[in-house]
Homo-oligomer: A and B are copies of this chain.
């Protein structure tokens, strides 16, 4: 069936309206009271019984007739004979002949039990929990739309209600597809997965969100990239499930045979969203099911889960959703807030764009920086504290722009500090230890100079640098003096010395022995970004040797971390890189030592009062961290 015109390349808001008019609410269902806690009521719940269902004593005491106690006081007690009173425990049944209970403390029984002195005059019903006192038969106990609390569930059972009508939980299935996909169990058992194949892991993303939302989901076995197989699978399952999510293979998200199957057998609803990531999503009605094509890249998959799949579940369950709050609900976000960006971000006009943000509070202001934006970066999604959906008309966001974000997990605002500065693997092991001392350390590798500059603008709590001044031979001082108005207010702390050198292929097959060899025609390097301490060092070494930088192949080929440059050497994309020994060791590469440099931590004195900085300072002395670092190679303690 052909799709309604203009339902391709649409905004999320338009997709919601299309879904809203196409998807019908499922009927309510019965739920045994034993399982109803947490469910949403489809109808008012009326009590089937009086609670209590008999006149019960409200305390330990004697059942009596109130009239028989008329005039009783402590100074002139009334004495009741056998047959005029009867002992009751709390909750005991008030005998029909009596209408009240005298407290144990206000009566005394004769030694032989023959008579009872009562020192208080009672009124009818006193100390009795009469039938229906807590709840009467027919009373409304809870109303349609409410979620059943533990207390309500217990109350329903007490009121004799065996089951309640609740909003349905749509039956959903996730179907991974793709020839390149290895089922998760096999993937986890494989020692060396073959190149070109990837493990099925999006089902964990899907199942994780469904569990959060309180909806069940089945995961089907992985299907091959075969329209015929998918067609017959969907036709078979459409009757069993209300919602079927077809996941594309993670590397082939934009192959479109899934949508062609939707078109051939169902009623297409929309295709292509003006959204980044998440663009290749589509949806249709097919044989009584709603079917959705989830893009394969993890971030795209997640975006469609919370912005399309959750609204569909709401339509199936409740018949509607609120545009203003549905994404917040889907994200499980505890409200939203404006945060101020720690760096610029370029957005693509004409598309809504999801930003993944890492958040921190600096000087009382909530700030955030964007994590890598690739749809394939599962790591960035896992690191995300908050999400922001930039509107279609966004373009260049400058540093300090505020954006509205939803927090997707608790941010430890008071414990967290942000480090911006030089990249170092020993530093990267530190957050685990900082946490032991009650802090939370977030590391952002931006290079030594950018780190100091960020610190001078109060865009982080601490930085680290190893910036050589080639003229003085001194590290960092001239840079700090240039950036900070009052360098006295800055604490400087040498964490360790580390060995810098030339990282080469294993065994150094091209015999690269010093910077002089970098000019050779058969040598290609990978460099670090401008402002990185390692780049400053390379430039100083080249200047000293009188080598012009444009004579070096790959000088303009940049990597942001030691690991990435070493990795490019390991992968054969370059022959050499200036970098530290620990990374060469970790990747089994060759290493030609060149210099030992101090790695200095820097922070404003006033931040020493912060919980996070205190924990950082404690963790620097932690023996376990020092042992880890010593094992990495190329580090020396001051």
Per-residue 0/1 for A550-570: is the Cβ within 8 Å of any B Cβ (1 yes, 0 no)? 000010110000011001101
Which residues on the B side are within 8 Å of A298 (C-beta)? Answer: 151, 154, 158
Say yes or no for A392: interface residue by CB 8 A criterion: no
Copies, count:
2
The contact sample of 27 A-B pairs, CB cut-off 8 A, is A33-B188, A33-B204, A34-B184, A37-B204, A52-B198, A90-B254, A91-B250, A124-B574, A125-B573, A130-B571, A132-B567, A134-B377, A140-B429, A143-B431, A145-B435, A149-B409, A151-B298, A152-B382, A154-B201, A155-B378, A155-B382, A158-B199, A158-B298, A160-B193, A161-B188, A162-B189, A334-B334
Bound state CA distance, A378 and B141, in angstroms? 10
Q: Is the CB of A56 within 8 A of B251?
A: yes
Say yes or no for A362: interface residue by CB 8 A criterion: no
Q: Is the CB of B379 within 8 A of A91?
A: no
Shortest beta-carbon distance from A43 to chain B in Å: 9
Which residues on the B side are within 8 Å of A207 (C-beta)? Answer: 37, 150
Which residues on the B side are within 8 Å of A188 (C-beta)? Answer: 33, 157, 160-162
Per-residue 0/1 for A121-149: is the Cβ within 8 Å of any B Cβ (1 yes, 0 no)? 00111001111111110101111110101
Which among A104-112, A208-216, A613-621 touches the partner chain? A208-216
Q: Is the CB of A435 within 8 A of B99?
A: no
Q: Is the CB of A55 within 8 A of B571?
A: yes
Tell me the nearest residue of chain B to A95, going by C-beta: B195
Say yes or no for A22: interface residue by CB 8 A criterion: no
Which residues on the B side are within 8 Å of A202 (C-beta)? Answer: 154
Shortest beta-carbon distance from A553 to chain B in Å: 9
Q: Which of B124, B141, B384, B572 contacts A524 (CB 8 A)?
A: B124
Q: Is the CB of B432 within 8 A of A157?
A: no
Shortest beta-carbon distance from A434 to chain B in Å: 10
Shortest beta-carbon distance from A56 to chain B in Å: 7
Contacts beyond the supplied A134-B377, A140-B432: 12 A-B pairs with Cβ under 8 Å: A38-B211, A52-B198, A90-B251, A124-B573, A130-B567, A130-B573, A134-B378, A142-B382, A149-B409, A153-B208, A158-B201, A162-B189
Which residues on the B side are within 8 Å of A338 (C-beta)? Answer: none
Which residues on the B side are within 8 Å of A204 (C-beta)? Answer: 33-34, 37, 150, 153-154, 157
Say yes or no for A205: interface residue by CB 8 A criterion: yes
Tell me the nearest residue of chain B to A55, going by C-beta: B571
Q: Is the CB of A586 within 8 A of B138?
A: yes
Bound state CA distance, A99 and B93, in angstroms? 88
Nearest 3 Cβ contacts at the A-B interface: A91-B251, A150-B208, A54-B195
Which residues on the B side are within 8 Å of A187 (C-beta)? Answer: 157, 160
Say yes or no for A376: interface residue by CB 8 A criterion: yes
Q: Which of B135, B382, B435 contacts A149 (CB 8 A)?
A: B382
Tell me the nearest residue of chain B to A434, going by C-beta: B143
Say yes or no for A180: interface residue by CB 8 A criterion: yes
Bound state CA distance, A339 and B160, in angstroms? 35
Q: Which of B147, B198, B572 contacts A409 (CB 8 A)?
A: B147
Say yes or no for A196: interface residue by CB 8 A criterion: yes
Which residues on the B side are within 8 Å of A572 (C-beta)? Answer: 96, 99
Interface residues of A in 2-56 (CB under 8 A from B): 33-34, 37-38, 44, 49, 51-56
Say yes or no for A454: interface residue by CB 8 A criterion: no
Shortest beta-carbon distance from A172 to chain B in Å: 15
Shortest beta-carbon distance from A334 to chain B in Å: 7
Shortest beta-carbon distance from A471 to chain B in Å: 33
Say yes or no for A611: interface residue by CB 8 A criterion: no
Say yes or no for A252: interface residue by CB 8 A criterion: yes
Which of A96, A378, A524, A564 has the most chain B CB atoms closer than 10 A to its own CB? A378
Say yes or no for A224: interface residue by CB 8 A criterion: no
Which residues on the B side are within 8 Å of A573 (C-beta)? Answer: 99, 124-125, 128, 130
Per-residue 0/1 for A149-179: is the Cβ within 8 Å of any B Cβ (1 yes, 0 no)? 1111111011011100000000000000000
Say yes or no for A531: interface residue by CB 8 A criterion: no
Which residues on the B side are within 8 Å of A91 (C-beta)? Answer: 180, 196, 198, 249-252
Q: Is the CB of A37 within 8 A of B208?
A: yes
Tell me the nearest residue of chain B to A586, going by C-beta: B138
Say yes or no for A381: interface residue by CB 8 A criterion: yes
Say yes or no for A76: interface residue by CB 8 A criterion: no
Shortest beta-carbon distance from A489 to chain B in Å: 32
Bound state CA distance, A334 and B201, in angstroms? 32
Shortest beta-carbon distance from A571 to chain B in Å: 5
Bound state CA distance, A302 and B132, in angstroms? 22
Say yes or no for A232: interface residue by CB 8 A criterion: no
Say yes or no for A89: interface residue by CB 8 A criterion: yes
Say yes or no for A604: interface residue by CB 8 A criterion: no
Which residues on the B side are within 8 Å of A429 (C-beta)? Answer: 140
Shortest beta-carbon distance from A461 to chain B in Å: 19
Q: Is the CB of B37 within 8 A of A136?
A: no
Which of A93, A147, A158, A429 has the most chain B CB atoms closer than 10 A to its own CB? A158
